[in-house]
Amino acid sequence: MNKEVWQSLLSLESQEYVKNIYKKIFDNTLNTRRAKEINSSAKQAREYFRNANNASFSVRPLLVFYGVSSLSRALTLFMKQRGGEEGLTAGHGLTTESWSNELSGDLNLTLKKIGDLKVKTTAGLFTDFINTTENIMSFHISSSGVDWITTYPIPPQDQTITFGQILSRLPDLAQDFKQLKDKALYSTVNEFKLSEDVGFKCKVRQKELEPFKKWFSDNGYKMSEVSGWTTITSDIDNFNSHKPQFIHSYVQKTFGSIPGLYVSKPFDNNVRYSQLGMTFLASYFLGMLVRYYPTHWTQLINGGVGDNYWPVINRLQGYVEESFPELVIELILEMSKIER
């Protein structure tokens, strides 16, 4: 657990702080009952993460998922304009799709298909979380602080996402993901500019862009290639109508403090998720695998035939534990700076 991040998150356990920061962000008074609900969820999240930190890997991802859910609940309650816990939709907001079919049969063979596992978005916490946080994506262009934010359109329910789609879009997993010999769907951003006058301009690594280059040409972007770099350009209207999926590396930071910026393509149906949303999804995949398929999980972590996903899954678990709490406090602090 990152002590500084969790020290900052301790503010969510303070009734007076929560009321004060809510007043600053929304120019409205938060009632005591909802403040206590936020405090309680934040306290539970801390305990889940703390216990996960000391737990065996046989259960650790499940405890972290409960922590992610509790912290998501606290942030959802904080960002809601009205209503408290009674207004939240029951359930995780995600369901597993045909996992029993995907994971049936020879254990050694089914482990190799983990990337094909699917989840579907439904009514519940995940959907409430995306809605209340407005699917906000924070950008670190050249500093440890947030340089710019944007909102992605709220995805409709019943979206299907595969585990592989998440793994292929998280640059913090790069070192181990490449061992799977799958195509990574992100490219390092070397330069980034966006304005009403100039429009969008982004310089990325040409080789990394190749697997998803077509998405840009199909969506009105122009590209020019020079010395191993591709410059992607668009007018501001086209950018706003067809935003790419952006993602940061929050574990592997530049100079140890600046999250690296990468560009990717949207998920199926041109759906985009904030980094908070993508990290929630990652934690759900891991938590459900541990909870409902302990035999598969045990073979993964103990080593055996078909365990090629273990290194990247291990790194993914570390990414969730380190980045999700940071993303939550980052959003709250950034929202407090916006003039309303």
Per-residue pLDDT of the chain (340 residues; tens, 9 = 90+): 788 999 999 999 999 999 999 999 999 999 999 999 999 999 999 999 999 999 999 999 999 999 999 999 999 999 987 778 888 889 999 999 999 999 998 888 889 889 999 999 999 999 999 999 999 999 998 888 899 899 999 999 999 999 999 999 999 999 999 989 889 999 999 999 999 988 999 999 999 999 999 999 999 999 999 999 999 999 999 999 999 999 999 999 988 899 999 999 999 999 999 999 999 999 999 999 999 999 999 999 988 777 899 999 999 999 999 999 999 999 999 988 754 4
DSSP SS3 for 162 = strand
E strand residue ranges, the chain: 92-97, 118-124, 136-139, 148-151, 160-162, 187-195, 199-205, 222-226, 229-234, 245-254, 258-264
Exposure string over 167-199, b if 16+ CB within 10 A, otherwise e:
bbbbbbbbebbeebeeebbbbbbeebebeeeeb
Give the closest residue to 172 by CA, choosing from 66, 63, 313: 313
pTM: 0.96
DSSP symbols for 166-185: HHTT-GGGHHHHGGGTPPP-
Question: Residue 64 has which token pair?
Answer: 């972290």
Straight-line distance from the first to the last Cα atom of the chain, in angstroms, rounded to the nearest whole number: 34
DSSP SS3 for 101 = helix
Rounded CA-CA distance 274/134 in Å is 9
Give the closest residue to 251 by CA, choosing from 57, 2, 70: 2
pLDDT in tens, 178-232: 989 889 999 999 999 999 988 999 999 999 999 999 999 999 999 999 999 999 9
At residue 162, the pLDDT reads 98
